[in-house]
Structure 1
Amino acid sequence: MTVKTNDDLIAAAAAVLHPHHVDGRTFGDVAAALITEAGNLYVGVCVDTPCGTGYCAETAAIAAMVTAREYEITKIVAVSQGHEGVVAVPPCGRCREFIRQIDPANLDTEVVLSPHQASPLRDLLPANEWPI
């Protein structure tokens, strides 16, 4: 799939959005897609567990990217099924920090918040420098 627009990236994430319910838990109800600096697309879904061992969709997509020995993210989106269809959702704080820690250049990652809105990660993660 060629990704040129925010809508394309949202569609790539939505393509793997397949909620699965097991014993009161839901897996795959949030999906993520990202594009790397090299132009490759990686996707992932969340795995929610009641004991805290699960992970977010962004984490899954980033794990696939790192497995392929890539680290710089150009653009990322997470999506979920809303009342009116698939909607982009902002990354949680843990995912924002995770994206930053994968590579310093990821502070410039474009985080898609809707088909017509995006923000660099640095704006969503203020005061991100550690005095070390």
Structure 2
Amino acid sequence: MTGVEGLIEAAAAVLWPHRVGDRVFGDVASALVTDKGTVYVGVCIDTSCGTGFCAEHAAIAAMVTAREYRIARIVAVTRGVDGVVVVPPCGRCREFIRQIDEANLEAEVILGPDRITSLRALLPAADWPV
């Protein structure tokens, strides 16, 4: 399975913000590794009308397109003043990850170079029927 630093680097490699008017695309990137060891990446698309999506959604869409559904580890990053910064998944992403496959509750969510938790820990009230 891809290590924490490798996954952070994979996400950072596709982090190329692009401005269109007052919107910025690709200022957050995500990388995930599946239970089969495949890495998928994606970037956010921020739109003014709310039809955009998070970087995690883009990486997960690539994974599902390839007919994989179980996430072993996932990370999202952006650029801060001092370089690449890991950011936690928003609530919408947390629920999206969960609904792709129930086993994703055990996925490792990278919260920093030395900080990992399970999706289950980020969704403490996740025990409801799908």
- Please, what TM-score do these two structures have when normalized by structure 2? 0.97
- How far does the alpha carbon of each residue in 1:96-125 deviate from its partner, in whole angstroms, 9 at most, with x for none? 000000001000000000111110000001
Partner of 1:38, secondary structure, is coil
Deviations 1:15-51 (A, max 9, x none): 0000000111000000000000000000000000010
- TM (norm. structure 1) is 0.96
> 3-state DSSP class of the match of 1:87?
strand
Tell me the CA shift for residue 83 of structure 1: 1.1
SS in 2 for 1:111: strand
Q: Secondary structure at the match of 2:84?
A: strand
Residue 58 (structure 1) aligned with residue 59 (structure 2): no
Superposition map of 1:1-132 within 5 A: 4-130=2-128
- Supply the distance in 2 between the matched residues of 1:33 and 1:131 (Cα, whole angstroms): 28
Count, aligned residues? 130
CA distance in 2, matches of 1:57, 1:102: 15
Q: Which runs of 5+ in 1 are unaligned?
A: none
Alpha-carbon separation, structure 1, partners of 2:116 and 2:11: 16
Distance in structure 1 (CA, Å) of the matches to 2:33 and 2:105: 14
Paired with 2:129 and 2:26, the residues of 1 have a C-alpha distance of 37
- The answer to whether the 8 A contact 2:2-2:37 is kept is no
Unaligned runs of 5+ in 2: none
Aligned-residue RMSD, C-alpha: 1.1
d(CA) in 2 for partners of 1:4, 1:53? 31
**What percentage of residue pairs aligned between the two structures are identical?**
66
3-state DSSP class of the match of 1:18?
A: coil
